[in-house]
Amino acid sequence: MTRRRFIILSALLSAFIIAVPFACSESLSVSHYTVFSGKLSGDVRLAFVSDVHNTLYGRNMDELVGAIVKLKPDAVVFGGDLFDNEWGEPNSVLLVERLTKMYPCFYSLGNHEFHRYDTGAEQIKREMRARGAYVLDGRTYDLTANGSTVRIHGIDGISSADQLKYCREMISPDMPNIMIDHYPEEFPKLSTMGFDLILSGHAHGGQVRIPPFIKGLYAPGQGFFPKYTSGEYYRGGSEMIVSRGLQRCLRDIIIPRVFNRPELVCITICGERS
Ligand SMILES: [Fe+2]
């Protein structure tokens, strides 16, 4: 091998060794969104926590709880897949126990709660209610903060027709209506129903992202090169914000997250500025 080839190969190998940990970083990221509404006077801030899958975030979940506290939210919204297919360690239980002592917490379930084979989803709902969380299985709650009120709805997906019917009947014209639905692929249908803001997860950012070209390789319910994986989407009069979720992959999943750090989402809903 010539000296020149050796230098080029060494440089490429070094770049690869440096790039892989960066590309596959699973350090926690925080994304901020501002949503304007003419129906509010004061601001309302939500911490949106999706797809934890019972992942451990530091001793006693200190890392995630600390990141949420720093946001100074008025409420915490869990967007489904808080738990995984089996109970495992009590990480997410501890997260809910700690956060319900500090904030109103709203919880919409995801597909993994319904895939549980050791306990059913109904038991999870009972356990989370017992800890003070407001479970959004076709229910509606009003959240008031800073002199403003938002209405929070939630369903177990649009196939839960009775839940969706009830939430649609509860839409208020006097305040922002926020729908928590785990499945972002349902946005085209939900966007025709009068909800102002829809919060979703489920896609895990499409797992592999190669910016700026590939905004997700695969997502359940959407297949390869999914459309709804991260960020803001608009359709009709509705906006949807999709979280890339908080599951760290190394323990359970063979395909790593690539350019797709776990994400805590902060949403500030502001009165319309003139
Ligand atoms: Fe998930």
Span 58-116, pLDDT tens digits: 999 999 999 999 999 999 999 999 998 766 778 999 999 999 999 999 999 999 988 87
| 267 band by pLDDT with thresholds 50, 70 and 90 | very high
pLDDT of residue 8: 83
Please give the CATH topology (third level) of the domain spanning 3-271: Purple Acid Phosphatase; chain A, domain 2 (3.60.21)
* Percentage of residues in the chain having pLDDT higher than 90: 78
Q: How far, in Å, from the CA of 72 to the mean position of ligand 1?
A: 25
With beta carbons less than 8 A apart as the criterion, state whether 20 and 256 touch. Answer: no
Q: How far, in Å, from the CA of 48 to the mean position of ligand 1?
A: 14
Structure token pair of residue 167 = 């939430």
d(CA 244, CA 206): 8
* Percentage of residues in the chain having pLDDT higher than 70: 95
Structure token pair of residue 130 = 């017992």
Q: How far, in Å, from the CA of 220 to the mean position of ligand 1?
A: 9
Q: How far, in Å, from the CA of 202 to the mean position of ligand 1?
A: 4
**Range with the poorest average pLDDT among 77-86, 151-160, 167-176, 230-239:** 77-86
Is the bond preceding residue 212 a cis peptide, omega within 30 degrees? yes
Q: How far, in Å, from the CA of 43 to the mean position of ligand 1?
A: 29
Q: How far, in Å, from the CA of 147 to the mean position of ligand 1?
A: 34
Tell me the residue type at 235. R
Q: How far, in Å, from the CA of 271 to the mean position of ligand 1?
A: 32
Q: How far, in Å, from the CA of 149 to the mean position of ligand 1?
A: 29
Q: How far, in Å, from the CA of 108 to the mean position of ligand 1?
A: 12
| 230 band by pLDDT with thresholds 50, 70 and 90 | very high
| CA atoms within a 13 Å half-sphere pointing along the CA-CB vector of 181 | 27
| 119 band by pLDDT with thresholds 50, 70 and 90 | confident
Q: How far, in Å, from the CA of 5 to the mean position of ligand 1?
A: 45
| 201 band by pLDDT with thresholds 50, 70 and 90 | very high
Q: How far, in Å, from the CA of 192 to the mean position of ligand 1?
A: 25
pLDDT of residue 117: 62
